[in-house]
């Protein structure tokens, strides 16, 4: 689809549909949605997401400094690192544990993008920000499964916006489309988003394999 006619967000959605579906149908995500994912894996997943978001937000800070118009897309209200740190502290997780290969590969890819195609980092951000739409519902399964309080401790990352979720997502979509990015940059966002969905898929597999290996 022509990005000039459709807008970047529609192009992103259509260009990543297969990758998105593959990631969300992974057994890790299925257990997550059902509320049957072992708590230890949830904590390990949070630690990996902290490393990913810390790298992304560091890069985005520099991109926004050079291009202030991007503050409409990424501002302090969209930071996920604080919520992840609070969740891990509440759950007694290790925020500085080893990075698994899939997370490490995504972080390395972000480093490469930051060096040569910094706007493509918005493709990574698209995937992670978009995940808040589904994770809000996952939080409803996670809280009773892990005996977490309904006030949000331990699940802040999954439900960062509360009742403002639909509005925040609409704001994000509007802001990205308002950038009016040229087609070649939109293509770079799509490629980065595809790789991010694939990394999330692979990370789930690594966490499950790690758990299976520990139980053997």
Query: If pLDDT is split at 50, 70 and 90, which confidence band does 207 have?
Result: very high
Q: Sorting pLDDT into bands at 50, 70 and 90, what band is 97?
A: confident
This prediction's pTM? 0.94
Tell me the percentage of the chain whose pLDDT exceeds 90. Answer: 93
Q: How confident is the model at residue 186 (pLDDT cuts 50, 70, 90)?
A: very high
Output the 3-class SS for 132-182. HHHHHHHHHHHHHHCCCCCCCCCCCCCCCCHHHHHHHHHHHHHHHHHCCCC
Banded model confidence at residue 198, pLDDT cuts 50, 70, 90: very high
Rounded Cα gap, residues 149 and 112, in angstroms: 39
Q: What is the CATH number of domain 3-211?
A: 1.20.910.10
pLDDT tens, position by position, 23-40 = 999 999 999 999 999 999
Cα(118)–Cα(63) distance, integer angstroms: 7
Across the chain, mean pLDDT equals: 94
pLDDT at position 214 is 55
**Token digits of residue 14:** 């259509």
pLDDT at 1 over 50: no
Spell out the domain ranges in the chain. Answer: 3-211
Residue of 167, 156, 165, 106 whose CA lies nearest to 134: 165
pLDDT at 210: 86
Element (H, E) at 97: none
Distances (CA, A) of 42 to 46, 84, 149, 158, 163: 6, 12, 16, 11, 23
Helices 17-24 & 8-15 angle (0-180, nearest 10): 50
Specify the higher pLDDT residue, 69 or 1: 69
Q: What is the pLDDT of residues 107-145, one digit of tens each?
A: 999 999 999 999 999 999 999 999 999 999 999 999 999
């Amino acid at each position: 689809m022509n990005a000039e006619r459709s807008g970047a967000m529609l192009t992103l959605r259509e260009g990543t549909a297969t990758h998105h579906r593959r990631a969300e149908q992974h057994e890790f995500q299925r257990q997550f949605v059902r509320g049957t994912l072992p708590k230890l894996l949830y904590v390990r997943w949070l630690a990996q997401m902290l490393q990913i978001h810390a790298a992304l937000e560091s890069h985005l800070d520099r991109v926004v400094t050079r291009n202030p118009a991007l503050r409409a897309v990424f501002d302090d209200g969209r930071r996920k690192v604080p919520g992840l740190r609070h969740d891990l502290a509440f759950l007694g997780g290790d925020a500085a544990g080893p990075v698994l290969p899939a997370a490490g590969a995504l972080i390395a890819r972000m480093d490469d993008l930051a060096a040569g195609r910094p706007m493509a980092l918005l493709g990574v951000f698209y995937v992670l920000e978009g995940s808040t739409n589904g994770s809000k519902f996952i939080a409803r399964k996670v809280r009773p499964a892990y005996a977490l309080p309904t006030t949000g401790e331990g699940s802040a990352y999954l439900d960062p916006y509360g009742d403002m979720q639909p509005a925040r997502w609409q704001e994000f979509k509007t802001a990205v489309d308002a950038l009016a990015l040229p087609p070649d940059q939109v293509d770079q966002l799509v490629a980065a988003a595809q790789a991010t969905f694939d990394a999330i898929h692979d990370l789930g597999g690594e966490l499950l394999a790690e758990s299976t290996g520990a139980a053997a």
